[in-house]
Structure 1
């Protein structure tokens, strides 16, 4: 699969949202559904506009197939909502976006990159481990401020 990856523009928030919802739909029936399913195009657009976060878009033949959002804080890049459309999974799309993020982080003089993953979804943990990330912390987060969800923080330290 020949993909192209680039930063999303504010006016593409609807594409970021559309891909994210398609990717996270499988988590709707979980005991505690992903909060990604509650996000709106407007909330994403506002964050892109204000610069509080950035997003990538990944395309195959001009069709959006992946996205990931991220922030940079000092020497750390934190990414979240890594999303690959179901029909494009298993073809290296997620790893291509991770590689792009790592290159971008290095350009920005960032020394570590990380994310938070639900402990109950081992395939996602395995994806990051296979890309060189390691579990460095376990944390309980509160979904909708009431339901505890066990997560792991995963990081990768980048060579200078």
Structure 2
């Protein structure tokens, strides 16, 4: 099985950045936005961090996030009424050609409003704009409600992957993927396309 990137959070070419949504607008973040990204992630994950379990967000720093965004990592924020309500990290998986996302974090006061679903739909739009095959994420089984949320957004569980946390803890994660629908186009047939047309009419 492929080596996974970090698990999906518990709460939470040209891209369609700054595109309006029902709740606000989604913008792609820059390295200078690392403090905002860190703050929202850590706020969203705080209640899920215990002595026995951690997603590792508490160990992320402005510097580590800035370095990530200066490399192949990317991030976006959903802005509601001028304030960041949710964030997500993502990058292209070279081995699959899918847009992998993680750390989807919704601030506690904004949960239950469909923001996570809006971000997932935006990620599908990014994948389509960049001619990728779709999107993917990993979910910790103890937070199966996330898998159901993503399944309602046209993603499907395709298997399990193993992930080793920075603390050396091995987690078995659910792998979800969502494929983009095939591209369709209407073209005018020419004389040389007659055999194709006859075959299509015969099959119908």
Matched, 1:115 2:137: yes
Matched, 1:33 2:70: no
Matched, 1:156 2:178: yes
What secondary structure does 2:142 align onto? Answer: coil
Cα deviation, 1:85-132, whole Å, max 9, x if unaligned, reads 011011011111111111011000011210011011112111111111
Partner residue, 1:10:
31
What secondary structure does 2:52 align onto? Answer: coil
Q: Over aligned residue pairs, what C-alpha RMSD do you find?
A: 1.4
Q: 2:53, 2:36 → 1: CA distance?
A: 25
Partner residue, 1:143:
165
The structure where strand makes up a greater share of residues is 1
Partner residue, 2:116:
94
Partner residue, 2:192:
none
Residue 146 (structure 1) shift: 2.4
Moved over 4 A (4+): none
Unaligned runs of 5+ in 1: none
- Structure number with greater CO (CA < 8 Å, separation at least 6) is 2
Unaligned runs of 5+ in 2: 1-21, 184-204
Residue 151 (structure 1) shift: 0.8
Aligned length: 159
Identify if the C-alpha distance between structure 1 residues 49 and 91 changes in structure 2 by more than 3 Å, giving closer, same or farther: same
Please show how residues 45-84 of structure 1 align to structure 2 within 5 Å: 45-50=66-71, 52-74=72-94, 75-84=97-106
Residue 145 (structure 1) shift: 5.2
- Greater Rg over alpha carbons, structure: 2
- Give the TM-score, by structure 2 length: 0.74
Q: Given that residues 42 and 58 in structure 2 are in contact (C-alpha distance below 8 angstroms), is that contact kept between their aligned partners in structure 1?
A: yes
Residue 30 (structure 1) shift: 6.1
